[in-house]
Structure 1
Amino acid sequence: MKQFTALPLLAAAGLAASAAQAQVTNPDTLVFLWTDDVQSFDPAYISNTPSSYGTLNVYSRLLAYDGEQISEFVPALSTEVPSLENGLIVEGEDGSVSYSFPIRPDTYAHKVGLMGEDGTVTWEYYDDLSEEERANIEPGYGVITAEDVKYSLLRAMLMDESWMSKAVTEMMTSGEYTDVAAIAEDLTGAEVPDLDEAQLQQVYDELDQLISVEGDTVTLHLAQSFPATLGIMALPFGTSIIDKEWTVDMGGWDGEPTTWGDYFRPEASETPLFADENGTGPFMLEEWDRSERRIVLRRFENYMHGPASLERVVLRTVPEWTTQRLQLLSGDADVVSAPVEFLDELAATEGVKVVDGLQRVFGRALFYAWPLQAQDNPAIGSGQLDGQGIPPDFFADLDVRMGFNYAQDYDLLLEQVNLGKTVQSRGPTVRGIMGYREDSPIYTYDPEKAEEHFRAAYDGQLWENGFTMTAYMQEGNTLANAALSVLQQNLARINPKFRLELQALPAASIMDKVFADEPTSPLTYMGWGPDYSDPGGPLGAATYYLSPTGLVAGFSGEGYQELMREHFQPLLDEAWALNDPAEREPIYARLQEMSHEYATSMFLWEDYTYIVTRDWVDGYVNNMILYGAWDFYPITKSASE
C-alpha cells in the first residue's frame, strides 16, 4: 500500500525570468534530476516507486498497461491478453480459475549466451553481435521462454523479500497465504531458515503445481477467483521476467526445489540482479555509480516493439533544488523535481514546461473513527456530549457523519485551494478504477441539510449542547489545514456551540495517534493509494476503504469495522468471486454509492501531481497506478515550434 499524508514544501531561491533557449541540448540523451535513489535493479527485491524506474525500463512483463489506462492491458511478452472471450481465462466448476499466456517467440534479452569451443558460455550484448554470431546463440540462453516466466514468478515468491513479491504469492494462492513464510509455517510448522531438504521440497511443490508450462504457453492455476491477476502481471515488480540461464550463471537461485532457502530474503547487494540486469525492456543498464548517485540507461536496439527515440537516459540524484534549477535553466537538465511552491514561476519561464493537475490513483479524505480511546485522550475533551467534549463513539451516529459531510465547502476547496486542478472525490474509487461513475452521488456544502442532521443526532442533545473536539494535521500541510479550517469555520456558522479545534503535529506524532491500539484521533486527513488497479482483493481501493480488515478500518476503530462487516463485506466478497468485469462493475458502483449513503468518510478531492521539464521534452504517459514512474520508451526530445 502507499500512504500519503502531505505534499513536500521546500525552500529555495527564486527563478530567473527565462531559461536558455534555442538549440536542444544533447538531443539523444534525457537528463533526469530527482531527489530519490534506486534500491536495487532486482525486480523480486524492490517495492518502492523510485526503484521501479529501473525495472520498468529494463525489464518486460507478460502484459503492459495500455497508455494511461490502468485497467486496460496490451500484450508484451505474452502475445495475447487473457480473457473469458478468447478462452485464455477458464473458470472451473469448482471455482478455480486459470490464466494462460502464450509467450512471444524469438524475444531476446539484452545479453545472450554463446557457447565457446571449450564448452563454456560467454554472455554478450545482443546488439553487438553480427548475424553470423546470433546464429550461434545457445538455445535458451537469453531467449525468453515459458520456462523463464515460471522461473521468474517462482523466484519472486520464494525470495519473499518485498511486499510486491508477496503480492504474487497472495495472487497465486488466491489469498490463502500472504507470503512463502506463511506457507512454510502452515505446511511444516517451521520457519524457513530451519527447513530441511524435504520441507524445502514440500514448500516448493506447493507453488510449483500452480504454474504449468506446455510448449510456448505458461498457465497460472488459481484455486479461486483473483480478478486482480492481470493488473499484478503488468506491474514493474516481482512479475518482471528475467532470463533463468543468465541469473543462474551469475550466481542466482539454480531453480532446484531444495536450494531456494539459501536465497530467502537476502540483503539487497547479495542478489546478482542488484546492480546488473538481463531484461528485455527498451533500455539496458549501462552504469550505476552509487557513490556519484548516477544511473545511465542505454537504448536496446532490438527491443521487441522497436528502438526507443532516446539513446540514453541519465538519472542523477541532486537533493538541492538550487542546483536542479540552474541546470534546468541552462538546458543541462531535461527533467527536474521541483518544489510545488515554484510551479507558477516555472510555468512563466521561457523554455520550461509545467504539466500540472496530473491525476493520481487515490483521493484525499477526512476519516472518521469510533469508538475512540476514552482515557487520557485530549482530542475528545470531557468525553461527554456536554459541550466540552465528545463521547468516544461520537461518529457512530450516521446523522453526525452526514452533518459533517454537508458542512464542508467542497467547491471552495476545489477552486480556491486546489485551483481547479482536480475534481471532487466520489468515494473510495477514483476515475479510471472499476466502479467509478460520473453520476454517483456526492456531498455538497448545504448548511440547511447539515443543521437538519445535527438536530436529529443524539435525540437533539448535540444541537442543544454543542461539542468540542480536536482534529490533528501534519505540520506544513497546507491542504490539510485548508480542509479542516474551512470545516471548522462552517461548523461554527451552523451552530456557535460546535467547536472544532485544530492542532498541527509532526507526521510521526499523528501516526502514533492514528495507529494506536485504540484510535485517539477522531478526524484524520489522509490518503491511501491501492497497489493495483482492481478495486477488490487484499490490496484494492474498495477493500482498503470498505473492508473490515482494510487499511482504513485498521485505524478507524471497531465501530467502523462493524459497519463495514455488516453492510459492505458481503458485496466485496460477491464481486471478488466473479471474473467477468461486466458483472463486477455494478457491484463496485453500488459500493461507491453506499459509501455516500453511510457517510463512511468525508471524501474531498482526487489527488494530483505535476512534472517539470524543458519544453523540448514530450511523450510522458501518466499511468497513475505506477505512481509517477517514468516509462522512457515513448519520450522524445525535439525543439518546440
Structure 2
Amino acid sequence: VNKKFCVEHGDWPGTAETWKQYNNPPSGKEPLHSIACGTGPFKLERWEPGVEVVLTRNDNYWREPAKIEKAIIKYIDEWTTRKLMFLAGDADIVYVDRQYVKELEGVEGIRVYKDLPTLSQGSVFFNFKINPEGNPYIGSGKLDGNGIPPDFFSDKDVRLGFAYSFDYETYIKDAWLGEAIQPTGPVIKGLPYYNPEQKTYYYDLKEAEKHFKKAWNGQVWEKGFKFTILYNTGNIQRQTAANIFKDNVESLNPKFKIEIRPVEWAEYVRDITTGKLTMFIIGWLADFPDPHNFVYPYMHSRGTYAEWQGYRNPIVDELIRKGIETVDPVKRKRYYDQLQMIYYIDVPGIGLYQPLDRHYERDWVKGYYYNPIYPGQYFYSFSKGY
C-alpha cells in the first residue's frame, strides 16, 4: 500500500520512535480497516459489515475494464433465503452447505462444478494447558468424574484414546457426502512434500480403550471425566464431528461424559484464543501453497493453533526453521517428512477432513475458473449472458 496514503489516513509514519505505538493493533482497529486503497478492477462503493459489500467497476483499470459493472456480495446465513434468491435468479452465485446439495440436484438453469480439490483441512486440536479461570467447560477442574484438570490432554494416552475413537470414514460419508479425504497430517494433498504414505490414526475402539486405561496411571478409566466440546452455531460438519467423539468415547465407559454445546462464532473464537476450550475443531486454508504455511500454525510453538493449545517441541521449531530457510528440495522434503512423522507421534491434534469443493452458479454466468489458493470469486473474469 502506498506509504503516503497510509500516513495520510493515520497509519505508521515510518519513524523508529513511533513503531511500538502502531505495532500489532487490535483486530478491526487498524487505521486502514475500513479504508480502501488500490488499483484493482473494482472500487469499494459500500461495505456494511455482516450484511453486504458492493463493488463498482473501475473504468480506469490499467487492463481492460471488467465486463460486469457491479458486484454485490450478500451475507445471508439462512439457507432457505439463499436458495429462493438463487432459484428466482436474484443471486447469480450461491454457497450451498453440504447438507443441502440434494435440494439443487437436477434443477434446470443451474450449473455446478464438483470435486474441486482444496488446499484446506479441518482438524481437532487438544488443549495441553486449559485456562481454568472462570471456565465452565471443565466441570470441577479435577479428575474426579465431574470434570477434568487443566492439563488433562497433556497425557498422550488421553489424546490417543480420542484419536482412535473417531470414525473417520463414517464422518466423511455423512458430513461430506464422501466428498473429502482424511488428511495424513499438517502437509495436505496438493502441497509440495505431501506424504501419502504417512501413518494416520484410524477408528479402533479396542485401541482407544487400551489408551484410556493407561491414561493418568489408570485414573481416567477408574474415575472417569466430564467436559464440554464447543462448535460454532450452524456448522453442521463440526457439530457432527463433536457428536462422533461424544458417542464413541462415552460408549467405552459409563463414567466418560461429554457435553456438546453450540456458541456464536465470536464467542467460539474468543474461547479458543483465551485457552478455555478443552479441544477445538477448526480449519486452515492455505495463504500460499507451501508446507510452511501449515506446519507453522499447526506445530511451531509460536504458531496460531499450536500456541493456543500449548503445544511446544523444540525439535519441531528447529525443523520448521530449516524447512523454510532451505532451498534444496531434497533437503526440504527430509525436514517436512520428519515434521509429519512427529505430528503423528506427538498427536497434538488430528486431521479430520480435507474437503472437495463445489461451485454453484446460474447458467448465464460466464468466465468462472477454479483457483484453490483464491477462496473468493474473481469478479474480473465474470460476464453474464447466454
For residues 105 and 3 of structure 2, what CA distance do their matches in structure 1 show?
43
Does the 8 A contact of 2:298 with 2:304 survive in 1?
A: yes
Structure 1 unaligned residues grouped into runs of 5+: 1-43, 45-154, 162-179, 195-263
Letter of the 1:548 partner, please give it.
S
For residues 343 and 265 of structure 1, what CA distance do their matches in structure 2 show?
41
> Structure 1 residue 482: deviation in Å?
0.7
Check if 1:352 corresponds to 2:110. yes
For residues 244 and 89 of structure 2, what CA distance do their matches in structure 1 show?
42
For residues 123-138 of structure 1, what are the structure 2 equivalents within 5 Å? none
Q: 1:608 to 1:158 in 2, by over 3 A?
A: farther
Check if 1:411 corresponds to 2:195. no
Q: 1:494 corresponds to which residue?
A: 252
Q: 1:342 to 1:472 in 2, by over 3 A?
A: closer
For residues 342 and 431 of structure 1, what CA distance do their matches in structure 2 show?
26
Q: 1:568 corresponds to which residue?
A: 316
For residues 385 and 325 of structure 2, what CA distance do their matches in structure 1 show?
49
Q: 2:136 corresponds to which residue?
A: 378
For residues 359 and 283 of structure 2, what CA distance do their matches in structure 1 show?
20
Q: 2:26 corresponds to which residue?
A: none
Does the 8 A contact of 2:54 with 2:70 survive in 1?
A: no
Q: 2:27 corresponds to which residue?
A: none
- SS of residue matched to 1:569: helix
User: Whose radius of gyration is greater, 1 or 2?
Assistant: 1
- SS of residue matched to 2:277: coil
Q: 1:402 aligns with which of 160, 164, 174?
A: 160
Does the 8 A contact of 2:227 with 2:258 survive in 1?
A: yes
- SS of residue matched to 1:490: helix
Letter of the 1:427 partner, please give it.
G
Question: Could you list the per-position Cα deviations for residues 441-496 of structure 1 after superposition, in whole angstroms to 9, with x for gaps in the alignment?
Answer: 11110111111211222222222222112212222222111101111111112222
Q: 1:612 to 1:193 in 2, by over 3 A?
A: same
For residues 342 and 373 of structure 1, what CA distance do their matches in structure 2 show?
37
> Structure 1 residue 357: deviation in Å?
4.4
For residues 397 and 182 of structure 1, what CA distance do their matches in structure 2 show?
49
Q: 1:411 to 1:342 in 2, by over 3 A?
A: closer
For residues 57-96 of structure 1, what are the structure 2 equivalents within 5 Å? none
Letter of the 2:285 partner, please give it.
G
> Structure 1 residue 381: deviation in Å?
1.9
For residues 20 and 143 of structure 2, what CA distance do their matches in structure 1 show?
53
For residues 181 and 324 of structure 1, what CA distance do their matches in structure 2 show?
41
Q: 2:267 corresponds to which residue?
A: 509
Letter of the 2:218 partner, please give it.
G
For residues 157 and 572 of structure 1, what CA distance do their matches in structure 2 show?
36
For residues 226 and 81 of structure 2, what CA distance do their matches in structure 1 show?
48
> Structure 1 residue 404: deviation in Å?
0.6
Q: 1:598 corresponds to which residue?
A: 346
Q: 1:582 corresponds to which residue?
A: 330
- SS of residue matched to 2:370: coil
Q: 1:444 to 1:290 in 2, by over 3 A?
A: same
TM-score (norm 1): 0.51
> Structure 1 residue 545: deviation in Å?
0.7
Q: 1:364 corresponds to which residue?
A: 122
- SS of residue matched to 1:625: coil
> Structure 1 residue 373: deviation in Å?
2.5
Q: 1:380 to 1:358 in 2, by over 3 A?
A: same
TM-score (norm 2): 0.82
Q: 2:299 corresponds to which residue?
A: 546
For residues 96-135 of structure 1, what are the structure 2 equivalents within 5 Å? none
> Structure 1 residue 368: deviation in Å?
0.6
**More off after superposition, 614-623 vs 587-596:** 614-623
The CA RMSD over aligned residues, in Å, is 3.6
> Structure 1 residue 571: deviation in Å?
0.8
Q: 1:438 corresponds to which residue?
A: 196
Number of aligned pairs? 370
Letter of the 1:485 partner, please give it.
N
Question: Could you list the per-position Cα deviations for residues 598-640 of structure 1 after superposition, in whole angstroms to 9, with x for gaps in the alignment?
Answer: 111021001454321123546533222211332644x67786x
For residues 195 and 3 of structure 2, what CA distance do their matches in structure 1 show?
36
Q: 2:309 aligns with which of 549, 552, 556?
A: 556
- SS of residue matched to 1:527: strand
Does the 8 A contact of 1:362 with 1:429 survive in 2?
A: no
- SS of residue matched to 1:532: coil
Q: 1:621 to 1:467 in 2, by over 3 A?
A: same
Structure 2 unaligned residues grouped into runs of 5+: 23-29, 48-52
Q: 1:484 corresponds to which residue?
A: 242
For residues 601 and 443 of structure 1, what CA distance do their matches in structure 2 show?
11
For residues 122-201 of structure 1, what are the structure 2 equivalents within 5 Å? 155=2, 159=6, 184-185=15-16, 189-191=17-19
For residues 623 and 421 of structure 1, what CA distance do their matches in structure 2 show?
18
Q: 1:629 to 1:437 in 2, by over 3 A?
A: farther
Does the 8 A contact of 1:372 with 1:393 survive in 2?
A: yes
Question: Could you list the per-position Cα deviations for residues 210-265 of structure 1 after superposition, in whole angstroms to 9, with x for gaps in the alignment?
Answer: xxxxxxxxxxxxxxxxxxxxxxxxxxxxxxxxxxxxxxxxxxxxxxxxxxxxxx95
For residues 204-603 of structure 1, what are the structure 2 equivalents within 5 Å? 273=37, 277=39, 284-285=41-42, 290=46, 293-296=54-57, 311-312=67-68, 314-318=70-74, 328-329=86-87, 334-337=92-95, 342-516=100-274, 519-536=275-292, 540-557=293-310, 560-561=311-312, 564=313, 566-603=314-351
Check if 1:627 corresponds to 2:375. yes
Q: 1:614 corresponds to which residue?
A: 362
Does the 8 A contact of 2:98 with 2:177 survive in 1?
A: no
For residues 448 and 299 of structure 1, what CA distance do their matches in structure 2 show?
66
